[in-house]
Amino acid sequence: MLIGAIEAGGTKFVCGIGNEEGTIIDRCSFPTGEPEPTLQKVIEYFQDKNVEAIGIGTFGPIDINPASPRYGYVTTTPKPGWSGYDFLGTVKKQFDVPCGWDTDVNAAAYGEAIWGAAKGLNSCVYYTIGTGIGVGVYTERKLVHGLVHPEGGHIMTRRHPEDTYEGFCPYHGDCLEGIAAGPAIEKRWKVKGSELAPDHPAWAMEAFYIGQAVTGTILLLSPNKVILGGGVMHQKQLFPLIRAEVLRNLNGYISDDAILRDIDNYIVPPGLGDNAGLCGSLALGLAALQEK
Ligand code: ADP
Ligand code: ZN
């Protein structure tokens, strides 16, 4: 069985095909341009692949309410041309197969729950910390949608006492994304995150912010696993720093062994590595096929 997967990111698109075990068999990637030419490349890729379903995990915000007349549309993004674009409809017009449709981070959370670090668990939360910050929520074995979909990258944060950087979010300034996504690190320290030494004070400050978000997530949703992915989390020294922040913030309040004794296996990198997004889209496609 071949399933198609589209990981639609703000900077690049990844298309692939895979099977029901979550194995990616083939893939291609290209920069995200205006919607029409970008989707043309997607259509060309899948034209001769004979997929039985397609899963799409995309940057947003998007409309994921099946009852909405704009279901499948990208909604309010500042990305040129994409606001109000019928992404899902364009794919469906070309390929008469069941299609899964969700945010990139919900897709990643789902992929991790089916095949990755949260395999077999009832719930997990997936953070991507990259050009922006996004959060996917899987709970009681279902992805959370609600009113629109979770936008946990834009939660309010308590500022680090030594941080003078104002934040770059055009809507909120120093929300979590504004103060802790990759561009915030670069603007604050005047050098790309990837070029900062592992013991640079930038990482303790980063952990202070991510640790707050993870603490809030644990208190609000009580997930069975917290998964932290995205380019910034390639800095592996962040994991112990974030775990320490979470323990400090919780201060023993959540008295479960998963946190008190085994936090190294509770706050973890994606089990699927950098494939979390694409495998997640694959899982969405598979789910759409099974629902048919
Ligand atoms: P995107 O969010 O665009 O899908 P990424 O998850 O790769 O892509 O995130 C890109 C952001 O992460 C950039 O701001 C970049 O500076 C930062 N980044 C990428 N790799 C690293 C690294 N090894 N260390 C620190 N920051 C990184
Ligand atoms: Zn914001």
99-121, pLDDT tens digit by residue? 999 999 999 999 999 999 999 99
Centre of ligand 2 to C-alpha 258, Å, is 31
Burial of 152 (0-12, 13-18, 19+ CB in 10 A): buried
Centre of ligand 2 to C-alpha 62, Å, is 16
Hey, which bits of the chain come out as E strands?
3-8, 12-18, 24-31, 53-58, 99-103, 124-129, 133-139, 142-143, 226-229, 267-268
Cβ-proximal residues to 254 (8 Å cutoff; 6+ apart), any chain = 218, 219, 260
Q: Please count the other Cβ atoms lying within 10 Å of the Cβ belonging to residue 107.
A: 33
Q: Which residues share a beta bridge with 143? A: 138
Question: Which ligand lies nearest to the CA atom of residue 171 in the structure?
Answer: 2
250-268, pLDDT tens digit by residue? 999 999 999 999 999 999 9
* Range 138-158 average pLDDT: 96
Our CA angle for 269, 271, 276, nearest 5°, is 95
3-state secondary structure of 40: helix
Decide whether any atom of ligand 1 lies within 6 Å of the 12 Cβ.
Answer: no
Decide whether any atom of ligand 1 lies within 6 Å of the 182 Cβ.
Answer: yes
- CATH number (3.30.565.10, 3.30.420.40, 3.30.460.20, 1.10.1040.10) of 3-104+274-291 reads 3.30.420.40
Peptide bond into 61 cis (omega under 30): yes
Question: Which ligand lies nearest to the CA atom of residue 152 in the structure?
Answer: 2
Decide whether any atom of ligand 1 lies within 6 Å of the 235 Cβ.
Answer: yes
In angstroms, what CA-CA distances link 6 with 144, 199, 249? 20, 37, 38
Percent of the chain with pLDDT over 70: 100
Decide whether any atom of ligand 1 lies within 6 Å of the 57 Cβ.
Answer: no
> What pLDDT is attached to residue 78?
80
Centre of ligand 1 to C-alpha 230, Å, is 6
Centre of ligand 2 to C-alpha 92, Å, is 32
Residue the block writes with tokens 């990643």: 108
Burial of 95 (0-12, 13-18, 19+ CB in 10 A): middle
Centre of ligand 1 to C-alpha 182, Å, is 6
Instruction: State which amino acid sits at residue 203.
Output: W
In angstroms, what CA-CA distances link 69 with 61, 64, 84? 16, 10, 12
Question: Which ligand lies nearest to the CA atom of residue 128 in the structure?
Answer: 1
Question: Which ligand lies nearest to the CA atom of residue 179 in the structure?
Answer: 2
> What pLDDT is attached to residue 20?
96
Decide whether any atom of ligand 1 lies within 6 Å of the 31 Cβ.
Answer: no
Find out whether 57 and 106 touch, Cβ atoms under 8 Å. yes
| CATH 3.30.420.40 placement within the chain | 3-104+274-291, 117-269
**Within a 13 Å sphere around the CA of 252, how many CA atoms are in the beta-carbon half?**
0
Taking 90 as the threshold, does the pLDDT of residue 77 lie above it? Answer: no
> What pLDDT is attached to residue 79?
86
- pTM of the shown model: 0.96
Which residue CA neighbors atom 27 of ligand 1 most closely?
A: 232
> What pLDDT is attached to residue 292?
86
76 falls in which pLDDT band (50, 70, 90)? confident
> How is domain 117-269 classified at the CATH fold level?
Nucleotidyltransferase; domain 5 (3.30.420)
